[in-house]
């Protein structure tokens, strides 16, 4: 208790009744939660069996349990500190008989679910080529998280996928029950159903858990909210911990209103704000507060720090995304040279994973180790490999591995059986596979429709290969090819998840941009040398061992993946309209409230220094377009920002400053 500040001590000591603990970024909430649990055990003498703490990840639950055990020893035996789903499984194992299941039910993995769904689709005569099974499972998952069962599910439109989901969902659930199995989303939905439908079972669990704490409450969805409400209703000793300013998972069902409405939902609720930040400098927190206060609906609070003002925030105004990456990496080299930071102290945060490409390339050029968290490295992504395979075939039609990768992407009705016949004929007649495609009419065992598809693909690619000329702009020619292939339509059609499709389209766009930038920087460059450069970069990629977060490597990650982490120096890149805030979010919510929260999360990841960057131009499918500074930049006070432009003079000034700093240190030593 002596280690806690006054508001933290109040949070620990207020154990009776509903408590809303608004814990800002870096305010020591985990310490408060664990100390509060130990206070219940040691000072209030509450039996461990009567205490429940719920969080969102197994890692967080494990760390919390270890801290409590270290402080309370044997008194902590029997306490339940778990994730929502572990709690649900505990409830179901004891009482699921009331829903017609056996207690030894199986929890199906995603691959098991896919098998059950395919069976349901066959029975309902629904073609998986017309309705993507993954998308149907995603719709079913969304319904379950909103506590909409198979009988209550109604299609919201005449959309083919919605209608298919409505037809398949009831049969899918029947099959699961027949196998005595549930899926991951059933865990919470069935727990809620069980508690709502059986008073005796509800009373048992309410008596068992008389003191309940929930961490990251701003991330709860409808089903999790109701589960906790049911358990806490009898005794009312519910403490929820969270920060509405860090609610950034609306796209996966989290409802920020759960924490905003908590005070109204619970009579006599006490609210305690943890506003002292132990992580960042005052300059960083002032910037974060200045941005987030512009959100129209939020709880009133402002982070402050006793760490000191710290350095101002650097603002890089780059000419292009390549220049942005160059200046960011130069900044990293400078910080490391000055002896202030190791590579693991540095992180690059971006809104879209597609933005990682330029930074990865620059870091590899400088031989700086890095890890990509929450996403594959750029050139390892499937859609990127598909796009590069087209370039490899244009450059070398004899590259049969790449040819086989693209022959049915986008789908053109060329199946495995056709490929088997083509390969076999190619080997028997000792001709390259590409030539065999052009002679498909001579090959037996292939249907007329497949022959037509193969011949059409060969004719198209032969024309592209023959007409490809580096003098006419390689990026423009590849962009024209991808438009002709209608890859965007293919991704929207096969994924049936617009957000996921857009991400993959952005990555393919980056392939075109990378080629266009390469030829601009290398006027005599060829497609072969561009592909060679990519291959060599692939050899330089970080080893498998370095992928484990925590080694001495720069971290690249999306803003969504960064929540809960902190770094001494953060580069928050791409601070432009249509990136942060993202174009899609602007269209869906003109207030861009969740995007502003994302920006806030990014700023508060920085401990000692923050650099923000934006570009004046960016490539879009190889063509240059002007960029507009993010509205969030205007919300940061000018006195906090030091602007660094792309001008040569600025770079020379930085070099002089670096040299001066180095010699000052040497003289001092």
Kindly give the residue spans of alpha helices, DSSP state H, lying in 542-641: 559-562, 583-588, 593-603, 631-634
Q: Is 352 one of the annotated binding-site residues?
A: no
* Tokens (6 digits) for 297: 């609906």
Q: Is 525 one of the annotated binding-site residues?
A: no
Phi, psi of 405 (to 5 degrees): -70, -35
Q: Quote the longest CA-to-CA distance of the chain.
A: 87
Please classify residue 590 by burial: count the beta carbons closer than 10 Å to its beta carbon, then call 0-12 exposed, 13-18 middle and 19+ buried. Answer: exposed
How many CA atoms, within 13 angstroms, populate the side-chain half-sphere of residue 156?
3
Question: Is 29 among the catalytic positions?
Answer: yes
Question: Is 597 among the catalytic positions?
Answer: no
* Tokens (6 digits) for 485: 């292939």
Catalytic residue among 605, 607, 608, 631: 605
Question: Is 183 among the catalytic positions?
Answer: no
Distance CA 461, CA 392 (A): 12
Q: Is 29 one of the annotated binding-site residues?
A: yes
Catalytic residue among 183, 185, 215, 360: 215
Question: Is 216 among the catalytic positions?
Answer: yes
* Tokens (6 digits) for 490: 């293919």
DSSP conformational letter for 412: -
Catalytic residue among 95, 183, 185, 216: 216
Beta bridge pairs of residue 635: none
Distance CA 512, CA 481 (A): 11
Phi, psi of 625 (to 5 degrees): -130, 145
Cis previous bond, 149, omega within 30: no
Distance CA 278, CA 259 (A): 23
Helix (H) or strand (E) holding 560: helix 559-562
Distance CA 414, CA 426 (A): 16
Q: Is 229 one of the annotated binding-site residues?
A: no
Question: Is 215 among the catalytic positions?
Answer: yes
DSSP conformational letter for 579: B
In this structure, the strands spanning 617-620 and 623-626 are: antiparallel
Taking the CB of residue 544, how many other CB atoms lie within 10 A of it?
A: 7
Catalytic residue among 29, 273, 351, 392: 29
Q: Is 30 one of the annotated binding-site residues?
A: yes
Q: Is 287 one of the annotated binding-site residues?
A: no
Q: State the helix-helix crossing angle for 498-521 and 474-485, rounded to 10 degrees.
A: 160
- What b/e readout covers 132-150, taking b as 16+ CB neighbours within 10 angstroms? bbbbbbbbbbebbbebbeb
- In the annotated binding site for ATP, the residues are 23-30
- In the annotated binding site, the residues are 23-30
Catalytic residues, which ones? 29-30, 215-216, 246, 605
């Amino acid at each position: 208790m002596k280690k806690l500040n006054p508001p933290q001590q109040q949070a620990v000591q207020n154990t009776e009744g509903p408590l809303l603990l608004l814990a800002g970024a870096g305010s020591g909430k985990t310490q408060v939660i664990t100390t509060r649990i130990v206070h219940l055990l040691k000072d209030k003498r509450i039996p461990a069996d009567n205490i429940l703490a719920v969080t969102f990840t197994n890692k967080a639950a494990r760390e919390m349990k270890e801290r409590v055990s270290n402080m309370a020893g044997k008194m902590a035996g029997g306490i339940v500190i778990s994730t929502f789903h572990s709690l649900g499984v505990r409830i179901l194992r004891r009482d699921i008989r009331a829903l017609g299941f056996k207690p030894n039910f199986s929890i199906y993995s995603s691959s098991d679910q896919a098998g059950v769904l395919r069976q349901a689709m066959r029975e309902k005569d629904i073609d998986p080529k017309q309705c993507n099974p993954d998308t149907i499972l995603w719709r079913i998952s969304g319904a379950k998280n909103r506590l909409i069962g198979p009988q209550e599910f109604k299609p919201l439109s005449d959309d083919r996928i919605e209608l298919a989901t409505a037809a398949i969902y009831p049969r899918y659930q029947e099959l699961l029950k027949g196998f005595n199995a549930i899926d991951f989303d059933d865990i919470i939905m069935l727990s809620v159903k069980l508690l709502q439908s059986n008073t005796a079972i509800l009373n048992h669990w309410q008596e068992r858990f008389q003191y309940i704490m929930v961490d990251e409450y701003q991330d709860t969805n409808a089903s999790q909210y109701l589960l906790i409400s049911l358990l806490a209703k009898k005794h009312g000793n519910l403490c929820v911990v969270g920060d509405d300013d860090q609610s950034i998972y609306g796209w996966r069902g989290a409802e920020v209103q759960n924490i905003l409405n908590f005070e109204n939902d619970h009579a006599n609720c006490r609210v305690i704000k943890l506003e002292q930040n132990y992580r960042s400098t005052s300059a960083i927190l002032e910037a974060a507060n200045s941005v987030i206060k512009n959100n129209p609906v939020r709880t009133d609070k402002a982070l402050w720090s006793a760490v000191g003002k710290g350095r101002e925030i650097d603002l890089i105004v780059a000419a292009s995304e390549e220049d942005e990456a160059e200046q960011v990496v130069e900044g990293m080299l400078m910080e490391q040279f000055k002896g202030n930071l190791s590579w693991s102290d540095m992180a690059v945060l971006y809104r879209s994973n597609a933005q990682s490409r330029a930074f990865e390339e620059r870091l590899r050029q400088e031989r700086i180790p890095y890890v990509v968290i929450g996403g594959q490295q750029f050139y390892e992504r499937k859609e990127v490999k598909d796009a590069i395979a087209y370039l490899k075939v244009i450059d070398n039609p004899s590259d049969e591995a790449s040819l086989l990768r693209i022959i049915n992407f986008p789908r053109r009705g060329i199946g495995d059986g056709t490929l088997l016949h083509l390969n076999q004929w190619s080997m028997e007649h000792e001709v390259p596979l590409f030539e065999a495609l052009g002679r498909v009419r001579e090959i037996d065992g292939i249907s007329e429709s497949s022959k037509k598809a193969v011949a059409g693909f060969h004719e198209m690619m032969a024309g592209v290969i023959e007409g490809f000329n580096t003098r006419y702009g390689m990026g423009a020619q590849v962009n024209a090819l991808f438009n002709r292939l209608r890859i965007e339509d293919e991704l929207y059609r096969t994924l049936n998840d617009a957000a996921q499709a857009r991400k993959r389209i952005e990555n393919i766009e980056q392939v075109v941009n990378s080629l266009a930038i390469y030829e601009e920087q290398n006027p005599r460059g060829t497609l072969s040398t561009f592909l060679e450069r990519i291959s060599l970069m692939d050899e330089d990629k970080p080893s498998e061992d370095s992928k484990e977060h925590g080694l001495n490597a720069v971290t690249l990650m999306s803003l969504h993946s960064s929540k809960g982490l902190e770094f001494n120096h953060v580069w928050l890149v791409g601070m432009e309209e249509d990136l942060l805030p993202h174009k899609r979010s602007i269209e869906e919510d003109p207030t861009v409230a969740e995007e502003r929260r994302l920006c806030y999360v990014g700023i508060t990841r920085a401990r000692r220094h923050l650099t923000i960057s934006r570009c004046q131009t960016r490539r879009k499918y190889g063509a240059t377009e002007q960029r507009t500074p993010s509205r969030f930049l205007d919300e940061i006070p000018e006195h906090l920002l030091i602007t660094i432009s792309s001008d040569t003079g600025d770079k020379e000034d930085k070099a002089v400053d670096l040299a001066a700093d180095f010699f000052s240190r040497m003289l001092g030593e």
